[in-house]
Structure 1
Amino acid sequence: MGAAPGRGCADDATLILDSWCGDQRSRAVTETGPIVVFANFLSDLAVDLDEGQILTTWAQQAPRKAWLLRPGDVFVTFVPLSRDFLRYVYDLTGVPPESVAVVEVPPAGPVPLARAREAGLVEQIRALAGDRGAALLPTALDASAIAFARDIGIDVYPYTTVEAAEAALKMIMLLNTKTGFRETAEHLGVRLPPGRTCRRPEVEGAVRDLLRDHARVVVKPDRSAGGHGMRFLSRHDLTGGVSLLLDTVGGPEGLWVVEQCLDVAESVSIQLEVSASGTRAVFSGAMRTVQGSCTGYASPLPPSSSHVADELEEWGTALGRHLVSHGYAGPFGLDALVDTAGVAYASESNIRRTATTTPHAMVTRLTAGSAAAPPAWSVAKGWTRSPMDFEAALARLGASRLAFDPNRGEGVVLYADAPPDGRCWRYAVIAKSLGDVEEHETALAEVFEFERD
């Protein structure tokens, strides 16, 4: 394991820790043993693999999965983790560095991480997992992740067998599409914006029809996430033809959803979990968006949209029952829009680990035992005027007393390592209330000298 920590190499998957302890008695996350945390952001679950560039951009968040690690675990990622970031994570979580293995896989273009066969990945993970009853925890449960688990000879968490995970895959793929969600939501009686599904050649006709009754429409490619490929159109935009305004997402015959563009007051979501005991709501909050793209999140729901909490949970529970009937287990999210009249409309489902699942797990872990009530928290990003490395960023937090304090259970956490450009920093803020979160964010913007919009 003698590779230098923090950097991969061109021709081999690299174990970046000098030693690793396989004593499964030191962990108690699952009854079966350690977890192989599989950061397979390059997946066709949410976006077609043809959209390689956006997937690669999203995958830069892979280091955040380090917050899930416990003694005995294995972390597989194609995004290198810096030594300073790993030390920071282990210090805050209390995980002995020598008890975890981190495997860095050289990127191979827009192909699933599980296909990195030339790097000897299967053999390495099989050797690390051994016969300790390990299970694979993929960021995206897709066909390649299931095949990878089968090749290694381990189960897929939280399913009892690989076959059980595979049986749920069809429904997972369907409900991570806009058309699949819309059809299922209508069947479950969930309120949706007026609209319809169609193939690309029919999009212009659908847009013209809806614009007869609505001032604006939103056009969504079937398999997309984070607002990628969405277009907002008005009657004025029809002069040059709709087809020229659409993204290449989905190809010439792909499915699209055309909906009324609501007068949105807030974008909200609820995150739930399906298990053998049923569906439970885990947390909810409000998304910060720009042109349909999520740029941040804050939990719990603010007072302005707290009145929709019960309805969100009702819709999420109904969707959870539907998922259970098709064999799904694990986390999922339901997004909604609250219009200026205060009415909520469901917009999409994410039957997978989302951008908030791991931060919430991190917040829960870091504040265990330090808070009488669940804390408020946010995740966001800001751009510094000049680049800095992780050590310099931590120094600024420490000098300003903004750094997360385990004793107080609040402060700022740099949860995704230093950005490649040294400027676009992702952070989490944990505090007792949303008001306190906002105060911390304002102070952080000054300390880090974030550029203003």
Structure 2
Amino acid sequence: MRILIGNHIDDSIRLKSDMASAVQRILWFAADGDLVVLPAPPDEDFLHYVTALTGVDAATLRIHVPPPGRFEHRLLDPRTLTDPGFVRAVAADLDEVSEVFALWPSPQVARLASELGLSHRLPGAAFTRQGGGELANSKAHFRALAAGAGVATAPGAVCHTAEEAAQAMTGLLARTGAVVVKQAHNGSGNGNEIVFAGDAPASGHVGARHLRRLGPGAVERYWSERWAWASAEGRFPVVVECLVPDAESLFTEYLVSDDAVLPTECGVLSYVGRRLDHQSVPLRHLGVDPAVLESLVTQGARLAQVYRAIGYRGFMSADAVADQAGVVRFTEMNAHVSGSVHIYDVIANRIVGVSAQPRRTVAEYAAPACWGTGGMRGFLATAQAIGCHYDPARRIGAILSAPIPAPRDGGPGEPAGLTQPAELAELAEIMVCLAYDTEETRDKLYERLDREFAAQSADPSCRPPY
């Protein structure tokens, strides 16, 4: 059996809002008899939906929920993993354990493994216990490690003060006219801001929550206003790098063990209006230039070897952009179980069988939270009625990759039980995978779903422009 821990980035690095639904993707990795740790009891409909697709007997899974801690089960409070009563309950429910597998490399996971006498079953336990997860997932540390490995990145700098950032931005803007300011710890473009002088750059391909035009001599004023945001109140360094225009956003993933770095999959990240719209796998089915694919995988592996040398173990995902000339530049390393692993490892490869003939591709969409689905059962019934439900015979259709969250009980931007800036509140998007044969099939599937669920929404702004 394995111990599977559905956790997320530690709140000491970045406070999330409500991850109780999102971390249930850990269920895609479960096998008969595994012990699963979640911040709240799983959605029963989702649990049985996943296990029906994976062929796992849901009744054999041992679900454990630690005490609510500081976040009332909306987040997994890392401190509660070593609560004495919780440790005793887990220990009493164990058989022979082959691995401790967590979504995020938290020091508290390493401490739990130690309390259970299972440090030898947690890959990279020593590195993780000493806070290695923060180091390995920092966009600032990434630039240093990539430079040391000779891996191409966009021109830029790691800045520890507002003055350093102003100096770097001034030089880079003179060179390219547009830069990306990056928080050291954030995801899906939420911690990125595109800053430009002059005409707005073509930036739809980049993940960025913010877009800012600077007037003449405004660099110092920008940093006096934005340093606190960019540096998380001075806690972390800030990255300033050139925007690579008109590029394609890609990722390449690896499994890092004591013995080797194994490539696992590559894919495309597709942005609409600088927001991640969908990700598609496998890249080899998407018509990418073979030279781009070779550069992506080779450079990514060289980078992963550096992370292996410093002690990281487990899945990791390197993001990159390929420009119009086919030059690949890396932008960050996600040294944790990314939101792509269950898509390619389980849904695409095990369930859909994308490499079998005729070949298939899988794209996961972040559908609007305003869709009127009527919950998970309503979504599945409607998808079946309109011909969009996944058909295993044709290997085409929609698969829900995460539960559809229940409505929040807090006010706008203020989930109940959490005190945080409204900026940190995240919409509960509906995550749906589409298995397809052609892009035309994919687009028609999504349009049918969008039309139907937007029509059922109580939010008039949810209506699609069809």
TM-score, normalized by length of structure 2?
A: 0.79
1:41 paired with 2:18, answer no
Please name the residue that 2:145 is paired with.
Answer: 184
Residue 96 of structure 2 is aligned to residue 148 of structure 1: no
* Matched residue SS, 1:284: strand
- Tell me which of 31, 38, 49 is aligned to 1:88: 49
Q: Which residue of 1 aligns with 2:406?
A: 420
**By how many angstroms is 1:296 displaced?**
2.5
Preserved CA contact (<8 Å) 1:42 1:59: no
Partner of 1:67, secondary structure, is: helix
1:372-419 CA-to-partner distances (Å, cap 9, x unmatched) read 366311111212443511111110111123212233333211121122
Give the aligned residue type for 2:328. Answer: A
What is the deviation of 1:125?
Answer: 1.3
1:305–1:338 Cα contact (<8 Å) kept: no
**Selected match of 1:244 from 225, 229, 251:** 225
Cα separation, 1, equivalents of 2:262 and 2:56: 29
Deviations along 1:424-450, whole A, 9 cap, x unmatched? 321111234555433332332233336
For the residues of structure 1 that align with 2:312 and 2:38, how far apart are their CA atoms? 25
| Residue-by-residue CA offset, 1:112-149 (whole Å, 9 max, x unaligned) | 634215583212211112x4225321101121110111
Shift of 1:218: 1.0
Relative to structure 1, the CA distance from residue 224 to residue 100 in structure 2 (aligned partners, 3 Å threshold; closer, same or farther) is: same
The 1-side partners of 2:269 and 2:172 are apart by: 26
Matched, 1:403 2:389: yes
Answer yes or no: is 1:328 the counterpart of 2:309. Answer: no
Higher deviation after alignment, 314-323 or 371-380: 371-380
Structure 1, unpaired ranges of 5+: 1-33
Residue 283 of structure 1: SS of its match in structure 2?
strand
Structure 1 counterpart SS, 2:21: helix
Mapped pair 1:274 → 2:256: yes
Give the match for residue 187 of structure 2.
Answer: 225
C-alpha deviation, 1:306, in angstroms: 5.4
Contact 2:364 2:434 in 1 (8 A): yes
Q: Read off the aligned partner of 1:216 and give its amino acid letter.
A: A
CA displacement at 1:325 relative to structure 2: 2.7
Deviation sequence 1:88-115 (CA, Å, 0-9, x none): 1222222222211222345433686342
Deviation at 1:326, TM superposition (A): 3.0
Residue 378 of structure 1 corresponds to: 363
* Counterpart selection for 2:174 from 212, 221, 224: 212
Residue 142 of structure 1 aligns with an amino acid whose one-letter code is: S
Is contact 2:451-2:464 (8 Å) kept? no
Contact 1:333–1:354 (CA under 8 A) maintained in structure 2: yes
Aligned to 1:13: none
CA distance in structure 2 between the aligned counterparts of 1:253 and 1:200, rounded to whole angstroms: 11
Q: Report SS of the residue matched to 1:303.
A: coil
Instruction: Supply the AA of the counterpart residue of 1:213.
Output: R
Give the Cα–Cα distance (whole angstroms) in 1 for the partners of residues 85 and 120 of structure 2.
20
When the two chains are superposed, the root-mean-square deviation of aligned CA atoms in Å is 2.8
Aligned to 2:422: none
Q: How many angstroms apart in 1 are the aligned matches of 2:76 and 2:429?
A: 26
The residue number in structure 2 matching 1:356 is 340
1:318 and 2:302 aligned:
yes
Q: Deviations over 1:310-358 (max 9, x none)?
A: 0011111212322333343321111011234432211011111101012
Contact 1:370 / 1:408 at 8 angstroms: preserved in 2?
A: no
Q: Whole-Å Cα distance in 2 between the matches of residues 118 and 405 of structure 1? A: 44
Alignment: residue pair count: 409
- CA positional deviation for 1:197: 1.0
2:451 to 434, 446, 452: 446
Match of 1:31 in 2: none
Give the fraction of aligned pairs with identical amino acids, expressed as a percent. 22
Contact 1:218 1:231 in 2 (8 A): yes
Distance in 2 separating the partners of 1:98 and 1:352: 28
Give the corresponding residue for 2:88. Answer: 123
TM-score, normalised via structure 1 length: 0.81
CA contact (8 A) 1:177 1:222 kept: yes
Q: Deviations over 1:244-289 (max 9, x none)?
A: 1342643226311111112133211111122355222211111123
Q: Please list the CA deviations of residues 23-76 of structure 1 after superposition, one character each: whole Å capped at 9, or x if unmatched.
A: xxxxxxxxxxx11110111426xxx53x32xx2345531122111111101111
For 2:421, the equivalent position in structure 1 comes to none
Quick check: 317-326 or 134-143, which moved more?
A: 317-326
Q: Supply the distance in 2 between the matched residues of 1:373 and 1:191 (Cα, whole angstroms).
A: 36
2:140/2:239 contact within 8 Å kept: yes
Contact 2:149 2:303 in 1 (8 A): yes
Supply the distance in 1 between the matched residues of 2:259 and 2:106 (Cα, whole angstroms): 24
Give, as a single letter, the amino acid of the residue that structure 2 aligns with 1:437: R
Deviation at 1:213, TM superposition (A): 1.7
Cα 1:144–1:381 shift into 2, 3 Å: same
